[in-house]
């Protein structure tokens, strides 16, 4: 273990990040209940991030971390990311929080499919079985053809968000080869704010104090959630901390119950663990493959 690695701290930070994300989802749903349009919510989610990050970087002397020679790649990443945010926030607005959260857990399933189709990486039977198992869990929750169980539009938005977040993860992995992680966050916020500002005159409405507090909360909480998630990876590996991501279902279920008196449907109670197990299998296999690759590279060097 290196001096910078503190697995327990990484796990705690990731857990805190999940609480913050649950809070963000709660605020987004509250905004939807007040009739605030999604493009306006998305604008403030990104617009608040830009000055917060700039202030922190200027205070710490880290402004040089924002340098990039790949501005067009950041713009493309922002286009995909903002579409994913639209779908994710849409699912939160249309569905109970527990169901919206569970559909977000499909990202690892889509990532495996994308890896096989476009990266041309060999995907073995364990991960393919996990993908099939995960989508069985989705079918259990959504009950296709039975619109009374869960909103079809909300389901489509949730699954689209899961797919697009998987696409974004590949884009970020590519950008991270040349740019600082903080630069990826900052330029995503800049381009995201610019994109949504174009339609803001159409969707923006007047708000009372509570409405403005919700919108400012979306931006502030979202920024800190992103920062803490990144910080967690400084102290623990992805394989170590990612298990905490599934705690998000606990926090959103609690929030849905306390704020909207909503509890997961019986189908979600059955299907969610299936999707979580599938994601766990994928994470386990990818961790084994990563370790095997490290050993293989070390042997080649020898």
Other Cβ atoms closer than 10 A to 118: 10
The predicted pLDDT at position 243 comes to 78
How many degrees, rounded to 5, is the angle at CA 29 between CA 27 and CA 33?
Answer: 115
pLDDT over 80 at 189, yes or no: yes
Tokens of 256: 């849905």
Least confident of 109-118, 192-201, 256-265: 109-118
Percentage, residues of the chain above pLDDT 70: 92
Mean pLDDT value across residues 1-30: 85
pLDDT over 70 at 116, yes or no: yes
Q: Which residues, 6+ apart, have CB-to-CB distance to 221 below 8 Å?
A: 20, 23, 24, 27
pLDDT over 60 at 254, yes or no: yes
Mean pLDDT value across residues 134-147: 85
pLDDT band at 239, cuts 50/70/90?
low
Report the chain's mean pLDDT, rounded to a whole number.
Answer: 89
Q: What phi, psi does 262 have (nearest 5°)?
A: -110, 130
pTM of structure: 0.90
The predicted pLDDT at position 4 comes to 54
Q: Taking phi first (over 0 means left), then psi (-120 to 50 degrees means alpha), and beta for anything else, what does residue 145 get? A: left
Tokens of 117: 């189709």
pLDDT band at 19, cuts 50/70/90?
very high
pLDDT over 50 at 3, yes or no: no
The predicted pLDDT at position 269 comes to 92
Tens digits of residue pLDDT in 40-55: 999 999 999 999 999 9
Torsion of Cα atoms, 282 then 131 then 272 then 156, to 10°: 130
pLDDT over 50 at 140, yes or no: yes
pLDDT band at 300, cuts 50/70/90?
low
Contact 106, 164 (CB under 8 A): no
């Amino acid at each position: 273990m290196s001096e910078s690695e503190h697995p327990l701290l990484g796990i705690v930070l990731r857990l805190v990040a999940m609480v913050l994300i649950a809070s963000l989802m709660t605020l987004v749903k509250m905004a939807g209940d007040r009739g605030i349009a999604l493009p306006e919510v998305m604008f403030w989610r990104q617009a608040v991030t830009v000055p917060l990050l700039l202030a922190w970087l200027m205070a710490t002397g880290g402004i040089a971390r924002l340098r990039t020679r790949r501005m067009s790649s950041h713009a493309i990443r922002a286009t995909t990311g903002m579409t994913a945010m639209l779908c994710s926030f849409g699912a939160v607005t249309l569905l109970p929080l527990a169901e919206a959260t569970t559909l977000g857990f499909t990202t690892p399933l889509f990532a495996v499919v994308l890896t096989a189709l476009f990266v041309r990486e060999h995907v073995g039977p364990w991960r393919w079985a996990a993908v099939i198992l995960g989508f069985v869990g989705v079918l259990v929750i959504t009950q296709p053809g039975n619109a009374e169980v869960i909103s079809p539009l909300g389901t489509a938005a949730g699954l689209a968000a899961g797919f697009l977040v998987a696409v974004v993860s590949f884009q970020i992995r590519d950008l991270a080869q040349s740019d600082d992680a903080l630069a990826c966050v900052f330029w995503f916020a800049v381009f995201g704010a610019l994109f949504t500002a174009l339609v803001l005159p159409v969707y923006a409405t007047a708000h009372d104090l509570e409405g403005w507090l919700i919108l400012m909360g979306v931006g502030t909480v979202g920024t800190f959630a992103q920062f803490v998630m990144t910080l967690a990876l400084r102290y623990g590996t992805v394989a170590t901390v990612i298990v905490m991501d599934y705690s998000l279902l606990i926090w959103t279920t609690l929030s849905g119950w306390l704020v909207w008196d909503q509890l997961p449907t019986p189908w979600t109670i059955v299907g969610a663990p299936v999707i979580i197990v599938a994601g766990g299998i994928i994470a386990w296999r990818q961790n084994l493959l990563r370790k095997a690759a490290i050993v293989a590279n070390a042997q080649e060097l020898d």
